[in-house]
Amino acid sequence: MSERTVIERGEETFYKTYNRFPVVFDHGKGVWLYDENGEAYLDFGAGIAVMGLGYGDPEFTQAVKDQTDKLIHISNLFYSRPAVEAGEKLLAASGMDRVFFTNSGTEAIEGALKIARRYAYNKDQSHDHEIIAMHQSFHGRSMGALSVTGNDHYQEPFKPLIPGIRFAEFNNLDSVKALVNDKTCAVIMETVQGEGGIYPASQEFLEGVRRLCDEHDMLLILDEIQCGMGRTGHMFAWQGYGVEPDVMTTAKALGNGLPVGAFLARGKAAQAMVPGDHGTTYGGNPLVTAGAKAVLDIFKKRDIPGHAAKIGGYLKEQLDGLAEECDLVKERRGVGLIQGLEFICPVGPIVTEALLKQKLVLISAGSNVIRFVPPLIIEKEDVDEMMKRLRAAIAAVKKAD
């Protein structure tokens, strides 16, 4: 079956919620992906910030293979060693008190929202609690996560969503203050907004929201699904601010491609839910937690966050250089290996040209931003190669105009 037929059959088969690029990937190695013709693509998207260790890491792959042979699933009615060990390691890395493993990021958000509701309910048994979320945020596609996602385009066709959500402006503390009342139980935000265009929280904003939460006994929920797991140079982005959340979510790079996420809580928030309040059939099964445990071990052993900080600094310099020389680029934003280049025009043509002609995988974040979320194991020469291909793609698109 030719590549073309696979694409056509895919088009006939999948529910049409995606516009896919016409490429069929077959295997990967390190920071490279290969299509069915053996053509190599440099990957700066990492399966949307998932493949932190890149493709085919021998230690990670072996851990998953070994667990596959032993035991894949048992349900959460029993204990398994990989789940306990991955959980302990996640608590140690985050300083949180409790963890709940989920199958995805959006489910981690659902759990975090339920903690907020439960926490407030425990105080007054009322049903009118409010949560403050941010404009231009992204927290997932399930109805709860969508309700706190500040994107009209995503929300509009699916209303009514869950009630009691109010939207503030990211990095504008006054706009958050203005929404707080005695019914507000939580503030949820990404530490670095990803999908919305790569906007890091400012130090003053994060500190200010933390203070506000303390003053009003509201929970601070930080969504670290995209920006966490070493990407900013810290294990979790909030660790770079010295501001602790009450509840945090992780997923994407946690399983290096295995479907595993988690919500974590500390202090009073870690006590809010009780047995029977939440559950999942697959969540944190031995297979995915063996993978997460291997990821956490490798992160520590090879200091992956430290490497991300170093290479991230280099990537930032190179992107700043491009921003200066290219009149199509408005600005660069980001921290470590989560970077964005905002263009003065839609980036769709550049991303497509890069992929199909330059064999460079890039993804966008909104219409005008190219997002750089490569595997965390990239080296300087990968950045140099990416820049070369990106420049060529920009030049080709400019020429075509």
Ligand X SMILES: *Cc1c(COP(=O)(O)O)cnc(C)c1O
Q: Is 267 helix (H, G, I), strand (E, B) or coil?
A: helix
User: At residue 238, what is the residue type?
Assistant: W
349 in Cβ contact with 380 (< 8 Å): no
CA gap 255, 104 in Å, rounded: 10
Instruction: Report in angstroms how near the CB of residue 154 gets to ligand X at its nearest.
Output: 12
- Separation CA 345–CA 369 (nearest Å): 9
Q: Which residue is nearest to ligand X (CB)?
A: 105
Binding site annotation covers 138?
yes
Residue labelled with tokens 């890039």: 362
106 annotated as ligand-binding:
yes
**Which residues are registered as beta bridge partners of 223?**
190, 249
Q: What is the H or E stretch that residue 82 is in?
A: helix 81-94
By CB under 6 A, name the one of 94, 104, 256, 358 that touches ligand X. 104
Q: How far is the CB of 225 from ligand X (least distance, A)?
A: 4
Binding to ligand X, residues 130-149 (CB under 6 A): 138-140
**Total residues at interface with ligand X (CB under 6 A):** 15
Neighbours of 158 (CB within 10 A): 11
State in angstroms the smallest separation of the CB of 137 from ligand X.
Answer: 8
Under rule CB under 6 A, residue 225 binds ligand X: yes
Confirm or deny that 281 is annotated as ligand binding.
yes
Q: Dihedral of CA 89/92/94/96: which sign? A: positive
How do strand 219-223 and strand 247-250 relate by DSSP bridges? parallel
Q: Is 10 annotated as a binding residue?
A: no
Q: Does 333 bind ligand X (CB under 6 A)?
A: no
Annotated binding-site residue? 352: no
Strands 369-372 and 363-364, by their bridges, are: antiparallel
Choice between 80 and 104, CB closer to ligand X: 104
The correct pick among 223, 246, 342, 353 for binding ligand X (CB under 6 A) is 223
Stretch that binds ligand X, among 105-113, 118-126, 374-382, 393-401 (CB under 6 A): 105-113
List residues near ligand X by CB under 6 A: 104-106, 109, 138-140, 190, 194-195, 223, 225-226, 251-252
Which parts are annotated binding residues?
105-106, 138, 141, 223-226, 280-281
Which parts are annotated binding residues for N(2)-acetyl-L-ornithine?
141, 280
